[in-house]
Amino acid sequence: MRGDERSQEEVIEEFAHYVSPSRVATYRQIGFEMVPGRREGSRMWDWDGKRSFINLRSSGGVFNLGHRPQRIIEALRRALDEYDIGDHILMSGPRAALAHRLADLTPGDITYSYFAAGGGEAVDIALKLARAHTGRPGVISAAEGYHGHTGFALAATGGSSEEFGPLAPGFRKVPFGDFEALEAAVDEQTAAVIMETIPATGGMLLPPVGYFTSLRRLCDERGAVLIIDEVQAGLGRSGRLWAIDEWDVVPDIMVLGKGMAGAIYPVAVACYRPPLQAYFDRNPFAHISTFGGSDLGCVVCLEMLDIITEPGFLEHVRSMGERFAAGFAELRQRHPDLVAEPRQRGLMIGFETTSPACGPLLTAAMARHGMLSIFANFRPSTLQIMPPLTISAEEVDLVLEALDVSLTEVAAVLAGAR
**259 and 320, same domain (yes or no):** no
Strand partners, 417: none
Q: Is residue 3 part of a domain?
A: no
Residue range 243-261: mean pLDDT, rounded: 98
Domain housing 52: 8-63+312-417
Domain end: 308, 339, 373, which one?
308
pLDDT in tens, 316-333: 999 999 999 999 999 999
Is pLDDT above 90 for 417?
Answer: no
* AA identity, residue 358: C
Q: Is residue 262 part of a domain?
A: yes
* Residues 9, 12: Cα–Cα separation, whole Å: 5
Strand partners, 253: 227, 272
pTM of the model: 0.96
The answer to whether 60 and 374 have CB atoms below 8 angstroms apart is no
Q: Which residues are within 8 A (CB) of 92 and not within 5 positions of it... i.e. 6 or more apart?
A: 86, 293, 295, 298
Is pLDDT above 60 for 218?
Answer: yes
Domain of residue 362, CATH code:
3.90.1150.10
Ordered strands of the 343-345 beta sheet: 343-345, 348-352, 379-385, 374-376
For residues 183-212, one letter each, b for 16 or more C-beta atoms within 10 angstroms of the residue's C-beta and e for the rest, the string is eebbeeebbbbbbbbbbbbbbbbbbeeebb
The pLDDT value recorded for residue 1 is 43
**330 and 212, same domain (yes or no):** no
Q: Is residue 1 part of a domain?
A: no
Domain of residue 222, CATH code:
3.40.640.10
Q: Is residue 353 part of a domain?
A: yes
Give backbone dihedrals phi and psi of 388, rounded to 5 degrees, phi first: -55, 145
The pLDDT value recorded for residue 220 is 98
The answer to whether 266 and 373 have CB atoms below 8 angstroms apart is no
Residue range 365-370: mean pLDDT, rounded: 96
Domain end: 286, 308, 330, which one?
308
Q: Is residue 215 part of a domain?
A: yes
**291 and 171, same domain (yes or no):** yes
- Within 10 Å of residue 11's Cβ, how many Cβ atoms? 15
- Within 10 Å of residue 132's Cβ, how many Cβ atoms? 18
* Residues 131, 147: Cα–Cα separation, whole Å: 17
pLDDT in tens, 173-205: 999 999 999 999 999 999 999 999 999 999 999
The pLDDT value recorded for residue 135 is 97
**330 and 400, same domain (yes or no):** yes
Is pLDDT above 50 for 366?
Answer: yes
Q: How many domains in the chain?
A: 2
Q: Is residue 228 part of a domain?
A: yes
Residue range 17-39: mean pLDDT, rounded: 93
**303 and 317, same domain (yes or no):** no
The pLDDT value recorded for residue 163 is 76
**316 and 409, same domain (yes or no):** yes
The pLDDT value recorded for residue 32 is 87
Rg (CA), the chain: 22
Residue range 355-365: mean pLDDT, rounded: 95
**170 and 257, same domain (yes or no):** yes
Nearest Cα to 233, choosing from 212, 214, 260, 253?
Answer: 260
Domain end: 287, 308, 329, which one?
308
Q: Going by DSSP bridges, is the β-strand pair 112-116/268-272 parallel, antiparallel, or unpaired?
A: antiparallel
Q: Place 374 in a pLDDT band, splitting at 50, 70 and 90.
A: very high
Nearest Cα to 196, choosing from 177, 181, 179, 180?
Answer: 177
Q: Which residues are within 8 A (CB) of 323 and not within 5 positions of it... i.e. 6 or more apart?
A: 393, 396, 397
**257 and 331, same domain (yes or no):** no
Q: Which helix (H) or strand (E) holds 134?
A: helix 119-134
Q: Is residue 193 part of a domain?
A: yes
**235 and 354, same domain (yes or no):** no
**382 and 284, same domain (yes or no):** no
Q: Place 310 in a pLDDT band, splitting at 50, 70 and 90.
A: very high
* Residues 114, 109: Cα–Cα separation, whole Å: 15
Q: Place 2 in a pLDDT band, splitting at 50, 70 and 90.
A: low
Give backbone dihedrals phi and psi of 2, rounded to 5 degrees, phi first: -75, -30
Q: Is residue 2 part of a domain?
A: no
**390 and 267, same domain (yes or no):** no
Q: Dihedral of CA 188/190/191/194: which sign?
A: negative
**282 and 329, same domain (yes or no):** no
* Residues 252, 230: Cα–Cα separation, whole Å: 13
Residue range 14-22: mean pLDDT, rounded: 97
* Residues 402, 363: Cα–Cα separation, whole Å: 11
pLDDT in tens, 132-168: 999 999 999 999 999 999 899 999 999 866 678 788 8
The pLDDT value recorded for residue 76 is 98
Distances (CA, A) of 390 to 52, 139, 347: 17, 36, 10
Mean pLDDT, all residues of the chain: 96
Is pLDDT above 60 for 106?
Answer: yes
The pLDDT value recorded for residue 29 is 86
